[in-house]
């Protein structure tokens, strides 16, 4: 899913059936694994101080795809089509039927950082993670590529590679999409509850950060790239090309609002419940979540700020030493058939990365096809921007500054 901070699997497993029909209404809090501060002398990917310019290459394992007809796929909770009766995933069943490959689908990707903390020690020690593919958010993909933890895709195995939306091909962190293929995309924008804003619409970032009517009832995202990105955009900066000073100016802007008591807190995607109840009047939010929230509470409003919004994707990657790389590529290829992707999008309500999905949605579910948050038009897309990739030094510096803001 989106760059959600916190989703706790155990929590979701408890609530999922019945209470939450689809992904993400109330997320667990967590980042639960402060999994003991282990790690003596933490090894980097290129110890000895190799420069970031010489990107290490991920090791490939001997591919057992031909003999072992399985794929191990880790994904975010409730991020795929579900048959409400059988609780099975029809698209996966079809895949298995067609190719004879069994998919071990595990919803254990709750949080980019947490997942990274879980697999990094294995990857750093050149061990198999037991997974053939998973879906990481853009910036995490950038990190994984930079650290040589993911393998290049064999594009020959993915003829549907050509179906990728043009806007998603040229990304800075993976030019030409050699390592990653988007699974779903979404925007970060502003959601509000008119009941709590006194009927007021909240349309701009400025209003969110300064309108006294919202004082103490605003939440921002713990996801740095969305929160700082939206604010930088509102300050007229280009988030695909900015300087330290731009970033820090945005941090100052948020700090000002925080010190003024405008901001109640920083959340993962657990903003949904307080927003629905009105405890939160307005917040930064992700499109897919809001579409779901609106199903229960149609009065909720959503704005993509005129100054621009952030666009993110969660992307298939194949980790180093994956045992069934060819099978995983077959799976990616399968989901890049518009017919297949349309069914997934119809269920999860995020934005499809596959060209041709729209036409099929118009046929099978016109409501979804006409929702600009799910099938955005060209104008909307032109307002959406992707946060530029960060160097390792920048990432440390920025996340430190952002952390001081959120945890300070």
Partner 1 sequence: MPYALLAPGLLWLIIFFVAPMITTLSTSLQEGNVDDGFVFTGNVAIYWDALHAYWPQLVRSLVYAGTATVLSLLLGYPLAYYIASRRGRAKNVLLVLVIAPFFTSFLIRTMAWQSILASDGGLLVKVLGWLHLTWLFDAFGNVLQFLHLSPNGEILYSPWAVIWGLTYNFLPFMILPLYTSLDRLDGRLLEAARDLYATPRDTFRFVTWPMSLPGVVSGTLLTFIPAAGDYINSRLLGNTQTVMIGQVIDSQFLRVLDYPLASALSFVLLVLILALVTIYVRKAGTEELV
Residues that bind partner 1 (CB under 8 A): 8, 10-11, 14-15, 26, 28-34, 36-50, 52, 111, 113-114, 117, 120, 146-147, 195-196, 215-216, 222, 224, 258, 261, 263-266, 270, 273-274, 277-279, 392-393, 395-396, 399-400, 403-404, 406-408
d(CA 362, CA 203): 29
Q: Measured from the CB of residue 274, what is the shortest distance to partner 1 in angstroms?
A: 7
Nearer to partner 1, 104 or 392 (CB): 392
Residue from 80, 20, 9 nearest 273 by CA: 20
Interior angle at CA 380, CA 376 and CA 383, nearest 5: 140
Nearer to partner 1, 196 or 361 (CB): 196
Q: Measured from the CB of residue 405, what is the shortest distance to partner 1 in angstroms?
A: 8
Nearer to partner 1, 170 or 403 (CB): 403
β-pairing verdict for 133-137 and 282-286: unpaired
Q: Measured from the CB of residue 344, what is the shortest distance to partner 1 in angstroms?
A: 28
Nearer to partner 1, 12 or 23 (CB): 12
Q: Rounded to whole angstroms, what are the CA distances from 64 to 72, 155, 281? A: 13, 18, 53
Q: Measured from the CB of residue 329, what is the shortest distance to partner 1 in angstroms?
A: 27
Q: Measured from the CB of residue 173, what is the shortest distance to partner 1 in angstroms?
A: 14
Q: Rounded to whole angstroms, what are the CA distances from 313 to 49, 165, 253, 393, 406? A: 31, 12, 26, 23, 24
Q: Measured from the CB of residue 399, what is the shortest distance to partner 1 in angstroms?
A: 4
Lookup: tokens for 192: 């509000």
Which residues share a beta bridge with 316?
A: 135, 181
Nearer to partner 1, 168 or 196 (CB): 196
Nearer to partner 1, 30 or 182 (CB): 30
| Residue 89 φ then ψ, to 5° | -105, 100
Report the SS3 class of residue 156: helix
> Are the C-beta atoms of 131 and 323 separated by less than 8 Å?
no
> Are the C-beta atoms of 189 and 284 separated by less than 8 Å?
yes
d(CA 311, CA 267): 18
Residue from 179, 185, 167, 6 nearest 79 by CA: 185
Q: Measured from the CB of residue 44, what is the shortest distance to partner 1 in angstroms?
A: 3
Lookup: tokens for 175: 């030019």
Nearer to partner 1, 11 or 334 (CB): 11
Q: Measured from the CB of residue 85, what is the shortest distance to partner 1 in angstroms?
A: 26
Nearer to partner 1, 378 or 407 (CB): 407
β-pairing verdict for 218-221 and 309-317: unpaired
């Amino acid at each position: 899913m989106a760059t959600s901070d916190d989703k706790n699997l155990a929590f979701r497993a408890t609530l999922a059936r019945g209470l939450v029909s689809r992904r993400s209404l109330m997320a667990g809090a967590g980042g639960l694994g402060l999994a003991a501060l282990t790690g003596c002398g933490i090894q980097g990917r290129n110890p000895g101080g190799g420069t970031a310019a010489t990107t290490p290459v991920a090791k490939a394992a001997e591919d057992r795809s031909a003999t072992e007809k399985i794929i191990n796929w880790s994904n975010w909770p409730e991020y795929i089509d579900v048959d409400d009766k059988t609780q099975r995933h029809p698209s996966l069943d079809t895949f298995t039927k067609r190719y004879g490959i069994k998919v071990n689908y595990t919803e254990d990707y709750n949080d980019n950082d947490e997942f990274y903390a879980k697999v990094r020690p294995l990857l750093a020690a050149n061990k198999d993670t037991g997974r053939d593919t998973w879906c990481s958010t853009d910036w995490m993909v950038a990190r994984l590529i930079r650290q040589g933890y993911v393998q290049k895709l064999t594009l020959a195995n993915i003829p549907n590679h050509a179906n990728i939306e043009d806007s998603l091909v040229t990304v800075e962190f993976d030019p030409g999409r050699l390592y990653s293929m988007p699974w779903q995309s979404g925007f970060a924008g502003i959601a509000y509850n008119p009941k709590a804003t006194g009927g007021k619409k909240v349309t701009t970032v400025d209003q969110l950060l300064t309108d006294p009517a919202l004082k103490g009832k605003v939440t921002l995202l713990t996801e740095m790239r969305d929160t700082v990105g939206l604010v930088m955009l509102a300050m007229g900066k280009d988030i695909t090309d900015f300087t330290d000073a731009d970033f820090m100016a945005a941090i100052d802007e948020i700090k000002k609002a925080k010190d003024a008591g405008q901001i109640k807190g920083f959340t993962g995607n657990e903003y949904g419940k307080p927003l629905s109840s009105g405890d939160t009047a307005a917040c930064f939010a992700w499109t897919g979540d809001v579409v779901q929230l609106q199903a229960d509470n149609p009065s909720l409003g959503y704005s993509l700020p005129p100054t621009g919004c952030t666009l993110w994707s969660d992307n298939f990657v194949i980790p180093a030493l994956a045992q069934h790389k060819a099978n995983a590529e077959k799976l990616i290829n399968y989901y890049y058939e518009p017919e297949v992707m349309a069914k997934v999008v119809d269920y999860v309500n995020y934005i499809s990365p596959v060209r041709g999905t729209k036409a099929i949605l118009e046929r099978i579910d016109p409501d979804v096809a006409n929702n600009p948050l799910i099938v955005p038009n060209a104008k909307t897309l032109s307002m959406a921007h992707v946060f530029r990739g960060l160097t390792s030094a920048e990432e440390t510096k920025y996340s430190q500054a952002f952390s001081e803001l959120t945890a300070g």
